[in-house]
Every structure is written in C-alpha cells, then in structure tokens.
Amino acid sequence: MLSSKKSVYNFNAGPSALPREVLEKAQSELVDFKDSGMSIMEMSHRSATYEEVHNQAIERLKSLFSIPENYEVLLLQGGASLQFAMIPMNFLASGEKAAYVMSGAWSDKALKEGKTIGDVYEAASTKETNYNKVPDLSEITWNEEDAYVHITSNNTIFGTQFQEFPETNDVPLIADMSSDILSRPIDVSKFGMIYAGAQKNLGPSGVTVAIIRKDLLENVNESIPTILKYSTHASNNSLYNTPPSFGIYMLGEVLGWMEKQGGLEQIQKNNEEKAKLIYDAIDNSGGFYTGHAEKGSRSLMNITFRVADEVLEKQFLAEAKEAGFVGLNGHRSVGGCRASAYNSVPLAACQALEQFMKNFQAKHQK
C-alpha cells in the first residue's frame, strides 16, 4: 500500500506533512546553500543571501494570498499562543472591549489570555453542543465601539470551519487561521489582522505569520515591551531580533510549491477532493462511522469522526497504525479519530485512508 518514497501516510494535526519535493530540495541544500559553503542555518540573518530568502518568502505570501498594499506581513515567533496575548496588548486600550467568537479550544485559550490583559467577552459560542458547529453569523454580536472581533477560522480539535466570515464593518476582524491559512482563496481586505502558526499549512514549526492592516499599526499600545509591539517588527522587516531562519526558508519553499500547484484556487479544489473521499466513507457507512461536525460547518482540513463503539475504535486506530497511517488519534481532550488533510497531504494518502475505512467496516460490521 505504501510507495517506496514514503513510508507512512501522515495525517498529523501539526506539525504536519510537508511536500516531499520541498523536503528533498532542503536536503540537497542543507550543507551548502547556494555555494556559500554554509547551511542556511549557519549564516547571518543580516547577510544578503539570507535577506533574499526572507524577502522572497514575504513576497510569495503577498502574491499567493492577494494581500493588499495597505497590509504588513510579519514573520514572528512564539506561535499563535503568543498572539493570543500580543493582540490585546497591542490593540485593546484601557476602557475598550473586544469580542471573541467561541468555536473550540483555541478560541477559548485566546479569550482566557485576553481576559488577563483587558475587557473581553464572548460574542457567540457553540460550547453547549460540544463545538460541533461554528456559530451562525446571525448569532454573533458585537458593539460598534469594540476594539476588534476575534474568530478562529478552523478548529483542529473539533473539525469545524467557517465557510464565510462575519461582516464587522468598522470594527477590525482578527482571525486565527493557523490550521487553514492558504487552503482556499479569501478576501484579506475583510480582516484587520490574520495570523497563523506555520506548522500546519505553511512549513515547519517555529514561524508565525501575521498579516496586519497598516492603520492598526499606527495605534498600537506604546507602553508594552518593545519586542511585543507589532510596529517594532513592521519597521524592521521582521528582523528586529534573530528570526527562525531555517523555518522562513522552508516557508518560502512551501509557498513556491503552492505556486506550482496552480495557486489557491487549485489548492482549494485539491482539498475539497481529498476531504470528500473521507467524508463519503463516513456518510456512506450506515452509522458505522459518525462525524462530529455538522455538515454545514465541516472542515476541509481536520476530519473528525467516531467508530461504531469504543472497542472497535481502539482496534481501528491500532490497525491503521499498523497499516502505516500516522496521526489518526483524535485530540486527547475529545478522543475519537481525526484525519488532518492539510495542503501538503497528497491525494493518494486520502484515497488509501478511504479504502482502509471501507475495508475495516466490511470486516467488522455486524
């Protein structure tokens, strides 16, 4: 079932699969990058060679995502978890409020971090139904005076995803897109800020992308530490301190791979095709498999499901692991099964999982 070039089918939720051709190119350039006699990991981040890599990654991201000119692209560290604190530190002034849409564990973490900084509140929540859907847009409420509205576009643990986004008008909409950024075209101009850890769709762990409208950068809180100000990183081209240079190199190469795939329109088609294989195996199983997410909120990135009973579910995961499938266990907080079919997960892996699910059901259905 496995090809000679790939020993496993990688469905890890993050860090996750990377394109094989990108890994092979990185391997070939690892010791001697562009005849420098050094690895990219060894050279100064102030060198012309590295700056070219750095700037190319930013320009590729701007081009692929159709980022307007009035936005800054920052390459940061600390993951989305640091952004949970940096966002209110920068943008939530004393006396202001911010609205948070609750759709899963990561939005909950963002809210809790916001509460340590200022006055934040829930704008909507689906916690009562165990986050099996994202809130309907009509359920989301905020005030025109709010500093921002925060959403999590895709929820890795529960397998839900916003199919469309709220129109917040003059209130900046801020989105954590860590697990579905660049999986489909979106209108960046609808957002005041988009941020994402790279380790799911963009590259290896260690890089965090932040896309911020420039007018927001003009009003950041000046009383916070210098390194925590977005304006600091914007004015220094994300080179205020030593960047995660290898991760940024890999980010640029993954973005180049996306360009070769045909851009985001084709990436979306690929993701829809991959997800449909697994969702069809669930929907056509007669209840042997059951999906967690409601159909209108289903994620293309993280497909969550349960097997008929607990004993069979454990057997399913054990046999899947033996067959070379990696990362199918659901998050420890909810259990079950989860297949994360990010951009770099090949169609063949999803075809193999679909067939495995059908074969397992045929063997064990009573």
Tens digit of pLDDT for each residue in 135-153?
A: 999 999 999 999 999 999 9
The reply to whether 200 belongs to the active site is: yes
Give residue-wise pLDDT tens across range 270-281: 999 999 999 999
Q: Please give the pLDDT value at position 334.
A: 86
Q: Which amino acid is at 276?
A: K
| β-strand pairing of 208-213 with 71-76 | antiparallel
CATH of domain 23-259: 3.40.640.10
Q: How far is CA 286 from CA 236, 281, 289, 307, in A?
A: 57, 10, 8, 11
For residues 71 and 211, is the Cβ–Cβ distance under 8 A?
yes
Q: Please give the pLDDT value at position 98.
A: 98
Catalytic residue (choose from 133, 142, 146, 176): 176
- What's the whole-number mean pLDDT along residues 317-342? 95
Q: Please give the pLDDT value at position 5.
A: 53
Q: 3 falls in which pLDDT band (50, 70, 90)?
A: very low
Q: Which amino acid is at 65?
A: F
Q: 337 falls in which pLDDT band (50, 70, 90)?
A: very high
Catalytic residue (choose from 133, 200, 229, 274): 200
Q: How far apart are CA 74 and CA 308, in angstroms?
A: 45
Q: Would you say residue 366 has pLDDT above 80?
A: no
- What's the whole-number mean pLDDT along residues 310-321? 97
The reply to whether 215 belongs to the active site is: no
Domain ranges of the chain: 23-259, 262-364
Taking residue 230's Cβ as centre, other Cβ atoms within 10 Å add up to 23
Taking residue 86's Cβ as centre, other Cβ atoms within 10 Å add up to 23
Q: Please give the pLDDT value at position 1.
A: 38
Domains 23-259 and 262-364 share a fold: no
Catalytic residue (choose from 106, 142, 146, 274): 106
Q: Please give the pLDDT value at position 335.
A: 87
Multiple choice CATH, 262-364, 3.90.1150.10, 1.10.3720.10, 3.40.190.10, 1.10.287.950: 3.90.1150.10
Q: How far apart are CA 23 and CA 70, in angstroms?
A: 33
In Å, the largest CA–CA distance within the chain is 65
Q: Would you say residue 126 has pLDDT above 60?
A: yes
Q: How far apart are CA 163 and CA 32, in angstroms?
A: 44
For residues 72 and 211, is the Cβ–Cβ distance under 8 A?
yes
For residues 214 and 71, is the Cβ–Cβ distance under 8 A?
yes
Residue 158 structure tokens: 């529960």
CA 181, 184, 188, 191 torsion-angle sign: negative
Q: Would you say residue 2 has pLDDT above 50?
A: no
Give residue-wise pLDDT tens across range 190-235: 999 999 999 999 999 999 999 999 999 999 999 999 999 999 999 9
CB burial of residue 210 (10 Å; 0-12, 13-18, 19+): buried
Mean pLDDT value across the chain: 96
Give residue-wise pLDDT tens across range 29-79: 999 999 999 999 999 999 999 999 999 999 999 999 999 999 999 999 999
Q: Please give the pLDDT value at position 169.
A: 94
Q: Please give the pLDDT value at position 166.
A: 97
For residues 102 and 111, is the Cβ–Cβ distance under 8 A?
yes
